[in-house]
Homo-oligomer: A and B are copies of this chain.
Amino acid sequence: MPDRQRRSRVARLKAAVLVSGRGSNLQALLDAGRTPDFPVEIALVVSNLPDVPALERAKAAGVATKVIDHRGFADRAAFDQALDTTLRAADVEVVCLAGFMRLLTAGFVEAWRNRLINIHPSLLPSFKGLHTHRRALAAGVTLHGCTVHFVTPDLDDGPIIAQAAVPVLGDDDEDRLAARVLTAEHRLYPLALRLFAEGRLTLAGRRVLVSGDVDAGGALFNPALK
Protein backbone atom coordinates (compact mmCIF):
# COMPACT_ATOMS: atom_id res chain seq x y z
CA MET A 1 0.00 0.00 0.00
CA PRO A 2 1.51 3.37 -0.95
CA ASP A 3 2.31 5.71 1.87
CA ARG A 4 -0.29 8.22 0.87
CA GLN A 5 -3.10 5.69 1.04
CA ARG A 6 -1.96 4.34 4.34
CA ARG A 7 -1.94 7.82 5.83
CA SER A 8 -5.29 8.70 4.37
CA ARG A 9 -6.88 5.85 6.30
CA VAL A 10 -5.77 7.27 9.65
CA ALA A 11 -8.44 9.61 10.97
CA ARG A 12 -7.03 13.01 11.79
CA LEU A 13 -8.05 14.82 14.95
CA LYS A 14 -10.56 17.57 14.22
CA ALA A 15 -9.45 20.94 15.53
CA ALA A 16 -11.10 24.33 15.76
CA VAL A 17 -9.03 27.49 16.00
CA LEU A 18 -10.44 30.52 17.81
CA VAL A 19 -9.24 33.89 16.52
CA SER A 20 -9.87 37.61 16.90
CA GLY A 21 -7.42 39.28 14.53
CA ARG A 22 -4.67 38.80 12.03
CA GLY A 23 -4.33 35.04 12.57
CA SER A 24 -0.64 34.51 12.03
CA ASN A 25 -0.60 31.52 14.35
CA LEU A 26 -3.74 30.27 12.60
CA GLN A 27 -1.76 30.43 9.35
CA ALA A 28 1.00 28.30 10.85
CA LEU A 29 -1.59 25.71 11.90
CA LEU A 30 -3.28 25.83 8.49
CA ASP A 31 0.06 25.34 6.78
CA ALA A 32 0.87 22.40 9.05
CA GLY A 33 -2.59 20.97 8.42
CA ARG A 34 -1.89 20.86 4.70
CA THR A 35 1.09 18.54 5.09
CA PRO A 36 -0.04 14.96 4.54
CA ASP A 37 1.38 13.50 7.75
CA PHE A 38 0.08 16.17 10.14
CA PRO A 39 -2.29 14.33 12.50
CA VAL A 40 -4.71 17.24 12.89
CA GLU A 41 -7.33 18.60 10.50
CA ILE A 42 -8.11 22.28 11.01
CA ALA A 43 -11.83 21.82 10.50
CA LEU A 44 -13.26 25.12 11.71
CA VAL A 45 -12.12 28.66 12.45
CA VAL A 46 -14.27 30.72 14.80
CA SER A 47 -13.88 34.47 15.24
CA ASN A 48 -15.60 36.67 17.80
CA LEU A 49 -15.22 39.59 15.38
CA PRO A 50 -16.33 39.88 11.75
CA ASP A 51 -14.04 40.92 8.92
CA VAL A 52 -10.72 40.04 10.55
CA PRO A 53 -7.80 38.83 8.38
CA ALA A 54 -7.80 35.46 10.14
CA LEU A 55 -11.14 34.63 8.52
CA GLU A 56 -9.70 35.36 5.09
CA ARG A 57 -6.79 33.06 5.82
CA ALA A 58 -9.20 30.27 6.74
CA LYS A 59 -11.28 30.77 3.59
CA ALA A 60 -8.16 30.82 1.44
CA ALA A 61 -7.23 27.46 2.94
CA GLY A 62 -10.70 26.07 2.29
CA VAL A 63 -11.54 25.79 5.97
CA ALA A 64 -15.04 26.45 7.32
CA THR A 65 -15.45 29.69 9.26
CA LYS A 66 -17.97 30.98 11.73
CA VAL A 67 -18.35 34.43 13.25
CA ILE A 68 -19.88 34.50 16.71
CA ASP A 69 -19.92 38.20 17.44
CA HIS A 70 -19.57 38.56 21.19
CA ARG A 71 -21.33 41.92 21.05
CA GLY A 72 -24.57 40.11 20.29
CA PHE A 73 -24.63 38.27 23.61
CA ALA A 74 -25.86 39.41 26.99
CA ASP A 75 -22.87 38.06 28.89
CA ARG A 76 -19.81 35.85 28.68
CA ALA A 77 -21.75 32.75 29.64
CA ALA A 78 -24.20 33.19 26.76
CA PHE A 79 -21.34 33.75 24.29
CA ASP A 80 -19.48 30.72 25.57
CA GLN A 81 -22.64 28.61 25.30
CA ALA A 82 -23.00 29.54 21.64
CA LEU A 83 -19.32 28.80 21.10
CA ASP A 84 -19.64 25.42 22.78
CA THR A 85 -22.68 24.54 20.68
CA THR A 86 -20.85 25.48 17.48
CA LEU A 87 -17.80 23.42 18.38
CA ARG A 88 -19.82 20.35 19.29
CA ALA A 89 -21.94 20.61 16.15
CA ALA A 90 -18.71 20.46 14.14
CA ASP A 91 -17.47 17.39 16.05
CA VAL A 92 -14.41 19.32 17.18
CA GLU A 93 -12.03 17.31 19.35
CA VAL A 94 -9.44 19.94 20.25
CA VAL A 95 -9.69 23.74 20.43
CA CYS A 96 -6.69 26.01 19.78
CA LEU A 97 -6.67 29.63 20.83
CA ALA A 98 -4.68 31.75 18.42
CA GLY A 99 -4.82 35.40 19.33
CA PHE A 100 -8.33 34.96 20.66
CA MET A 101 -8.93 38.06 22.77
CA ARG A 102 -11.94 36.97 24.81
CA LEU A 103 -11.69 35.61 28.33
CA LEU A 104 -13.49 32.27 28.51
CA THR A 105 -15.73 31.36 31.41
CA ALA A 106 -14.63 28.72 33.90
CA GLY A 107 -17.60 26.63 32.75
CA PHE A 108 -16.38 26.56 29.15
CA VAL A 109 -12.80 25.91 30.20
CA GLU A 110 -13.87 23.02 32.41
CA ALA A 111 -16.05 21.56 29.65
CA TRP A 112 -13.01 21.53 27.32
CA ARG A 113 -10.44 20.66 29.96
CA ASN A 114 -7.31 19.08 28.48
CA ARG A 115 -8.66 19.71 24.97
CA LEU A 116 -8.23 23.50 25.02
CA ILE A 117 -4.78 24.82 24.07
CA ASN A 118 -3.31 28.32 23.99
CA ILE A 119 -0.05 29.90 22.93
CA HIS A 120 1.31 32.71 25.08
CA PRO A 121 4.15 35.01 23.98
CA SER A 122 6.47 34.59 26.96
CA LEU A 123 8.44 31.96 28.79
CA LEU A 124 5.81 31.29 31.42
CA PRO A 125 5.59 31.71 34.37
CA SER A 126 7.34 34.98 33.48
CA PHE A 127 5.11 37.68 31.99
CA LYS A 128 1.60 36.36 32.24
CA GLY A 129 -1.01 38.67 30.74
CA LEU A 130 -0.68 41.34 28.08
CA HIS A 131 2.18 43.36 26.58
CA THR A 132 4.69 40.61 27.21
CA HIS A 133 7.37 41.91 24.82
CA ARG A 134 7.31 45.41 26.26
CA ARG A 135 7.54 43.97 29.76
CA ALA A 136 10.35 41.59 28.81
CA LEU A 137 12.36 44.51 27.44
CA ALA A 138 11.65 46.57 30.55
CA ALA A 139 12.75 43.68 32.76
CA GLY A 140 15.97 43.31 30.78
CA VAL A 141 15.78 39.56 30.17
CA THR A 142 18.18 38.25 27.54
CA LEU A 143 16.04 35.20 26.80
CA HIS A 144 12.39 35.51 25.94
CA GLY A 145 10.07 33.17 24.10
CA CYS A 146 6.70 31.52 23.94
CA THR A 147 4.71 28.79 25.65
CA VAL A 148 2.01 26.40 24.46
CA HIS A 149 -0.15 25.27 27.35
CA PHE A 150 -3.46 23.72 28.25
CA VAL A 151 -5.97 26.35 29.31
CA THR A 152 -7.26 26.37 32.88
CA PRO A 153 -9.53 28.93 34.52
CA ASP A 154 -6.48 30.82 35.83
CA LEU A 155 -4.98 33.16 33.24
CA ASP A 156 -1.87 31.81 31.47
CA ASP A 157 -1.39 29.26 34.21
CA GLY A 158 -2.27 25.88 32.71
CA PRO A 159 0.02 22.86 32.24
CA ILE A 160 2.84 23.64 29.81
CA ILE A 161 3.17 21.48 26.70
CA ALA A 162 6.19 23.14 25.11
CA GLN A 163 8.28 26.30 25.24
CA ALA A 164 10.69 27.96 22.84
CA ALA A 165 13.34 30.54 23.67
CA VAL A 166 14.71 33.37 21.54
CA PRO A 167 17.46 35.82 22.40
CA VAL A 168 16.74 39.46 23.14
CA LEU A 169 19.20 41.59 21.18
CA GLY A 170 20.57 44.98 22.03
CA ASP A 171 18.77 46.89 19.32
CA ASP A 172 15.42 45.23 19.91
CA ASP A 173 12.31 47.29 20.29
CA GLU A 174 8.91 45.82 21.01
CA ASP A 175 8.16 45.13 17.34
CA ARG A 176 11.46 43.47 16.53
CA LEU A 177 11.28 41.27 19.60
CA ALA A 178 7.65 40.40 18.89
CA ALA A 179 8.56 39.35 15.35
CA ARG A 180 11.34 37.07 16.59
CA VAL A 181 9.05 35.43 19.14
CA LEU A 182 6.31 35.08 16.52
CA THR A 183 8.66 33.11 14.29
CA ALA A 184 9.20 30.72 17.19
CA GLU A 185 5.45 30.58 17.86
CA HIS A 186 4.77 29.53 14.30
CA ARG A 187 7.06 26.55 14.73
CA LEU A 188 6.11 25.66 18.28
CA TYR A 189 2.33 25.64 18.02
CA PRO A 190 2.08 23.03 15.24
CA LEU A 191 4.69 20.87 16.96
CA ALA A 192 2.85 20.99 20.28
CA LEU A 193 -0.47 20.26 18.60
CA ARG A 194 1.13 17.29 16.85
CA LEU A 195 2.32 15.86 20.18
CA PHE A 196 -1.20 16.20 21.53
CA ALA A 197 -2.81 14.58 18.50
CA GLU A 198 -0.35 11.70 18.56
CA GLY A 199 -1.37 10.94 22.11
CA ARG A 200 2.13 11.56 23.41
CA LEU A 201 1.18 13.89 26.25
CA THR A 202 0.46 12.71 29.78
CA LEU A 203 -0.52 15.01 32.62
CA ALA A 204 1.29 14.45 35.92
CA GLY A 205 0.14 17.15 38.29
CA ARG A 206 1.08 20.38 36.58
CA ARG A 207 3.68 18.69 34.40
CA VAL A 208 3.02 17.49 30.89
CA LEU A 209 5.17 14.46 30.15
CA VAL A 210 6.04 13.74 26.52
CA SER A 211 6.53 10.14 25.44
CA GLY A 212 8.80 9.10 22.62
CA ASP A 213 12.01 10.47 21.22
CA VAL A 214 13.60 12.71 23.85
CA ASP A 215 16.07 14.19 21.37
CA ALA A 216 13.29 15.36 19.11
CA GLY A 217 11.58 16.73 22.18
CA GLY A 218 14.64 18.63 23.26
CA ALA A 219 15.05 20.27 19.88
CA LEU A 220 11.39 21.03 19.72
CA PHE A 221 11.52 23.13 22.83
CA ASN A 222 13.88 25.54 21.15
CA PRO A 223 12.87 25.66 17.51
CA ALA A 224 14.24 29.16 17.09
CA LEU A 225 17.71 27.95 17.96
CA LYS A 226 18.03 24.97 15.65
A residues touching B (Cβ–Cβ < 8 Å)? 123-127, 137-143, 145, 159-165, 167, 169-170, 205-211, 214, 217-218, 221-222, 225
Q: Give, as a whole number of angstroms, the nearest-CB distance from A54 to chain B.
A: 27
Q: Would B126 and A170 count as touching, CB distance under 8 A?
A: no
Q: How far is the CA of A170 from the CA of B124 in the complex (A)?
A: 18
Tell me how many chains of this kind the complex includes: 2
Candidates B142, B163, B206, B211; contact of A163 at CB < 8 Å: B142
Across the interface, which residues of B come within 8 angstroms of A167, CB to CB? 217-218, 221-222
Q: Which residue of B lies closest to A192 (CB)?
A: B142
Q: Would A141 and B170 count as touching, CB distance under 8 A?
A: no
Candidates B139, B141, B165, B170; contact of A143 at CB < 8 Å: B165
Q: Would A142 and B162 count as touching, CB distance under 8 A?
A: yes
Q: How far is the CA of A125 from the CA of B136 in the complex (A)?
A: 9
Q: Would B140 and A160 count as touching, CB distance under 8 A?
A: yes
Q: How far is the CA of A42 from the CA of B123 in the complex (A)?
A: 34
Q: How far is the CA of A170 from the CA of B162 in the complex (A)?
A: 12
Q: Would A208 and B140 count as touching, CB distance under 8 A?
A: yes
Across the interface, which residues of B come within 8 angstroms of A210, CB to CB? 170
Q: How far is the CA of A151 from the CA of B175 in the complex (A)?
A: 29
Q: Would A142 and B161 count as touching, CB distance under 8 A?
A: yes
Q: Would B206 and A140 count as touching, CB distance under 8 A?
A: yes
Across the interface, which residues of B come within 8 angstroms of A160, CB to CB? 139-142
Q: How far is the CA of A206 from the CA of B209 in the complex (A)?
A: 36
Q: Give, as a whole number of angstroms, the nearest-CB distance from A219 to chain B.
A: 9
Candidates B125, B140, B159, B214; contact of A170 at CB < 8 Å: B214
Candidates B125, B139, B145, B214; contact of A169 at CB < 8 Å: B214
Q: Which residue of B lies closest to A161 (CB)?
A: B142
Q: Which residue of B lies closest to A122 (CB)?
A: B126
Q: Give, as a whole number of angstroms, the nearest-CB distance from A153 to chain B.
A: 16
Q: How far is the CA of A217 from the CA of B168 in the complex (A)?
A: 10
